[in-house]
Amino acid sequence: MNRSPRIFIAYTGGTIGMRRTASGGYAPASEYLQRRMQQLPLFQEDAVPDYDVYEFDPLLDSSNMTPSHWLEIAEVIQANWDDYDGFLVVHGTDTMSFTASALSFMLDPLDKPVVLTGSQIPLSETRNDAQGNLLTSLLLLGAYSDRLPGVYLFFDDHLYRGNRTTKVNADAFAAFDSPNFPPVGRVGINVEIDWGLVPDAGGPAPVPSVVELGTASVTAFRIFPGLDPDSLRNLLSPPVQGVVLECFGSGNAPDQNEAFLKTLRDATERGVVIVAVTQPLRGTADLNLYATGRALQDAGVVSGFDITTEAALAKLYYLFEQGLPEDEVRDLMQENLRGELTPPEETPAALGKTRRRLAGYR
């Protein structure tokens, strides 16, 4: 007889377990989430897998999340890997996509699911989205723990690849979207998983290694009409190593502003890796399409294609952590490593080249 899957819940904080304070606002309440789950009959149903809750101390509003907290999450997952079939990270919504993106690079290899979820309204409120997100995440982990390798984000009845997500709404239950990659699953009357979008685990894998992120100096800059190149020059000054440049349209920027372009050229010649992403929610930043994009390319900027800002930052952290030279980082930022982007051409030969290159740095 097969045993029931066991799920490890890493409770980091966030709205889902908050209670109203005397001042009227919400704040994380230690052990409240666990008590509430024990009190609600639905969480005791036979269909719900066995679970244990590990509470972080202190509990965090996710606005306070830092790379050191990513490391704590990754290490507690690693430490409990052999004892559980799936992992649920309960997290605040504000930086959930940053954490999901980071974990997809920090943990490797993955032959089990790591799912992040949270809520817009706390479980303590009568009307909330917390119960549905939490309960359905557990049910998905219980049902598919052996078939969903990788890092995911579940919210509002949608299961997304974690490093493809971004928060799009502060006021609705549909807080997240995966603009350039379809949801892996949808939950309605039936649970529908698009197995063609699920990565291949390649058979049983060892306990994942953990790569610490945060020691590199990376940042992001949003281009806007009338920008002063001095503000960008200050941002690009040492010790910065990598920058995510949020561009207009499909990777466009002012090509008639020579001071702006010179600032970029000076930085890339100094070894700074600058990656272009697109400001619009959907689409791709391909610097080959327009003259304004080619001006960035001539200045040493590389295309990030359809990667999100959240995933681009995590990927820069990860690649610099490998000790790679700048030209290798530039090349790999344009290649798909963890399902985070769709390059114009993703041939088996190109993927094989990427795997061989990274093998020496793991």
Annotated binding-site ranges for substrate: 62, 93-94
Tokens representing 175? 């807080």
Annotated active-site residue 268? The verdict is no
**Torsion, Cα of 207, 205, 163, 84 (10° steps):** -60
DSSP codes joined into one string, 287-331: TTSSHHHHHHHHTT-EE-BT--HHHHHHHHHHHHHTT--HHHHHH
Query: Residue 49 and residue 60: Cα distance in Å, rounded?
Result: 26
Annotated active-site residue 12? The verdict is no
Query: Residue 249 and residue 330: Cα distance in Å, rounded?
Result: 21
Beta bridge partners of 150: 113
Q: Which residue has the tokens 């490391």?
A: 71
DSSP codes joined into one string, 16-62: GGEEE-TTSSEEE-TTHHHHHHHHSGGGGSTTSPEEEEEEEEEEE-G
Give, as one character, the DSSP assignment of residue 83: G
Residue numbering of the annotated binding site: 62, 93-94
Tokens representing 293? 């994009």
- Give the active site residue among 12, 21, 66, 93: 93
- Give the active site residue among 12, 15, 95, 278: 15
Q: Phi/psi class of residue 226: alpha, beta or left (left: φ > 0; alpha: ψ in -120 to 50)?
A: left
Tokens representing 196? 């063609």
Contacts for 177 with CB less than 8 Å, ≥ 6 apart: 165, 166, 168, 281
- Residues acting as catalytic residues: 15, 93
